[in-house]
Amino acid sequence: MQGVNQLFWPAVCINCRESICESDRSLCRDCWSELLGCVGADYCPRCGRDVSRYAIVAGVCPDCQGKEFHFDGIARSGVYKVGESLQQMIVAFKNGRTELDSTLGFLANSALQGSSFVNAIEFFVPVPLHWSRRLTRGYNQSLILANELKHPTAKISTDLARTRRTKYQPVMASAAARARNVAGAFAVRKGHNFSGRNICLVDDIKTTGATLNECAKTLKEAGASKVFALVLAVAGQNIS
Ligand SMILES: [Zn+2]
Ligand SMILES: [Zn+2]
């Protein structure tokens, strides 16, 4: 049976293509340990940036003190650092390597289980792509990720849509420029079920948080009660 399985799923690491002996694993030992080295650090439950747990006062890091966000909290797997394993896998996942779904899903599930809001979630809402971009890419990576999430009751809703195509922005674009770029870019579909519900947005990367913030604002205007966010990686540690 093992031999037959390996015909269909040859036991190679989906990241580096090294052969592996355990056919039930998708990554080789080296890739696993590199990937796990990118996740699990302490972070601010409000903005997701790296911060020691002792620096968190009243639930936020020093950088978040006095700041207003439309989302109520965040869970993240790791940090988006160019050249690191997590960043490379996220880029590959966006560029056609959808077979990374279960590996990245595993990381997202761990972050979700470690969050304070997991039990409150009623809907997972993937951050939408504009239809024209989804057509070019063929899929929305955030929806694939949402499909990997394990939750006893929450359902996925795709009733948040991107109504305007926004520009790609370099990581270093200012927070104000990013906020302008996404302002008014989202809307909820007719017949949505968000009123009074607790929602968790799902995305691959948070940079300044402008996109998550705009999505959360749109969902709250549609009557959502709480809006949380779950991302694989938080980028732009030094951008405020
Ligand atoms: Zn490998
Ligand atoms: Zn913070």
Ligand nearest to the CA of 62: 2
Residue 3 has pLDDT above 70, yes or no: no
Q: How confident is the model at residue 4 (pLDDT cuts 50, 70, 90)?
A: low
Report the separation in Å between the CA atom of 220 and the middle of ligand 1, taken as the mean of its atom positions.
42
pLDDT tens for 12-61 read 888 888 888 765 568 888 888 999 998 988 999 999 999 998 999 988 99
Residue 63 has pLDDT above 50, yes or no: yes
Report the separation in Å between the CA atom of 78 and the middle of ligand 2, taken as the mean of its atom positions.
14
Report the separation in Å between the CA atom of 43 and the middle of ligand 2, taken as the mean of its atom positions.
8
Determine the Cα–Cα distance for residues 185 and 195; give it in Å rounded to an integer. Answer: 20
pLDDT tens for 102-115 read 999 999 999 999 99
Q: What is the structure's pLDDT at 171? A: 63
Q: What is the structure's pLDDT at 9? A: 56
Report the separation in Å between the CA atom of 229 and the middle of ligand 2, taken as the mean of its atom positions.
13
User: Taking the mean position of all CA atoms in its chain, how far away is CA 160?
Assistant: 16
Instruction: Give the position of tokens 């939408």.
Output: 128
pLDDT tens for 183-229 read 999 999 999 999 999 999 999 999 889 999 999 999 999 999 999 99
pTM here is: 0.91
Residue 181 has pLDDT above 60, yes or no: yes
Report the separation in Å between the CA atom of 26 and the middle of ligand 1, taken as the mean of its atom positions.
9
Q: How confident is the model at residue 165 (pLDDT cuts 50, 70, 90)?
A: confident
Ligand nearest to the CA of 65: 2
| DSSP letter, residue 129 | P
Ligand nearest to the CA of 51: 2
Report the separation in Å between the CA atom of 52 and the middle of ligand 2, taken as the mean of its atom positions.
11
| DSSP letter, residue 154 | -
**CB 158: neighbour CB atoms within 10 A?**
15
Determine the Cα–Cα distance for residues 170 and 172; give it in Å rounded to an integer. Answer: 5
The first and second tokens of residue 216, run together, are 């959360």
Element (H, E) at 161: strand 160-162
Q: What is the structure's pLDDT at 220? A: 98
Ligand nearest to the CA of 12: 1
Report the separation in Å between the CA atom of 143 and the middle of ligand 1, taken as the mean of its atom positions.
25
Ligand nearest to the CA of 28: 1
Phi and psi of 210, rounded to 5°? Answer: -60, -40
Amino acid at 93: F
